[in-house]
Structure 1
């Protein structure tokens, strides 16, 4: 058994990468979820089976929340909970792109304590442990020190810059996009971008791992009202995400409508 929860997540994330890669270029059996919740593939389900088997076998007393598993209120009574997205960025996976990720987190009493975000086709493994810093492939990472909102490089979907979200003029942000929320958060933690924004309700499995990686890299991640992100909620969604260093985070909150 791995010596630590983080070691467990790292080992299983790499196994998940092997499973997902085995589907690349082959039949995916693409289906569409109810309520326009997006596509799901045979790869999503295969990775989910692996994650649940490996993680729950290693920590049978931990609760479970996954995008591809039926939810159960049993997790609400657990001190520790796995919160995972087998493939974050399924559309990217279907399209043959490489910016999809496995997002794995362990949450204790609502707060992430260990996290791994792995992009198998790019061989990028972002990790964090509460109080232990954040890393990319074992090397420490740190969020950027940019303080000028007008010069900030931001990861966000195009509708985030719609006027109705902002009080006054929309800031002239340098916007880019990546399909995986977990990857967006990790890129900000790495300092390659200064902020990430999403104003849509965000599922916990997309952001739990990234939230800890950001925190341990010296950034702040809250919902769009500035409230702390807490996880393992009865309804596992947050009110969007605003993430970046303290100066930019405050500047965005001050400008939101």
Structure 2
């Protein structure tokens, strides 16, 4: 079985488990340091995916939001990077905009990425060099070039004046709880861009970043640098995703303003 087939099979199985637990997620606790809530359902999905994936690929490393991290993954040639439920707040609130995000990373780059939305019956899949699909159909980002009027997915605080000293861009802002889903929505052209200037966890973005890139969007950190994964500190310096011309316009405004 190929890596892509294996990951797809296990993600769909995990999605069925999560959907079954959506109305009864079990006990919920808050993570230390403002890390947000985690439910028994998050942990169950994580355990299922880890057991099934590592049984099939015992030499692969493992990085997940809900598993204690260790140095072993740094020496593995390939690593599973997983968020068992991305958008736990939405999951607990009974909203459908949560995802299961899973990627395989090799030499710092995702080779397979899946973002599965069980409550919305959407599955986004990408393999490096093979394009990206939603429910089996190819997807592509928007063709917007101009920053003014662009529809951008972001938290409201990402458009505070501190990030844009020269003036906040005249954009239309919307939000979705799952970062992975936001990346996919840009990948399929439903929104023009997504961004966050806060450090972002690898498990939130590895799969979605590959999907967006394979669809034709440009994906970088907030400084315009390529993303690298399976690092000792599994965070990247923000993320900006958009069609190349719009990405350039966004980054030029942000970096030019930040330099003043």
TM band (smaller chain):
over 0.9
- Counterpart position of 1:62: 60
**Structure 2 residue ranges without an equivalent (≥5):** none
- Counterpart position of 2:210: 212
1:181 counterpart = 2:179? yes
Instruction: Quickly say closer, same or farther: Cα 1:77–1:15, change in 2 above 3 A.
Output: same
1:169 CA drift (Å) = 1.2
TM-score under structure 1 length normalisation:
0.98
- Counterpart position of 1:111: 109
Instruction: Quickly say closer, same or farther: Cα 1:219–1:27, change in 2 above 3 A.
Output: closer
Alignment deviations for residues 127-181 of structure 1 (CA, whole Å, 9 cap, x no partner): 0000000000000000111101102110000001101101411111111100000
- Counterpart position of 1:84: 82
**1-side partners of 2:200 and 2:3: how far apart?**
25
CA contact (8 A) 1:23 1:43 kept: yes
CA contact (8 A) 1:186 1:214 kept: yes
Instruction: Quickly say closer, same or farther: Cα 1:64–1:27, change in 2 above 3 A.
Output: closer
RMSD: 0.8
CA contact (8 A) 1:88 1:206 kept: yes
Which range moves more in the overlay, 9-18 or 204-213?
Answer: 9-18
Secondary structure, aligned partner of 1:52: helix
CA contact (8 A) 1:182 1:210 kept: yes
1:27 CA drift (Å) = 4.8
1:28 CA drift (Å) = 2.0
- Counterpart position of 2:6: 8
Secondary structure, aligned partner of 1:168: coil
**Structure 1 residue ranges without an equivalent (≥5):** none
**1-side partners of 2:221 and 2:22: how far apart?**
34
TM-score under structure 2 length normalisation:
0.97
- Counterpart position of 1:52: 50
Count of equivalent residues: 255
CA contact (8 A) 1:167 1:255 kept: no
Secondary structure, aligned partner of 1:150: coil
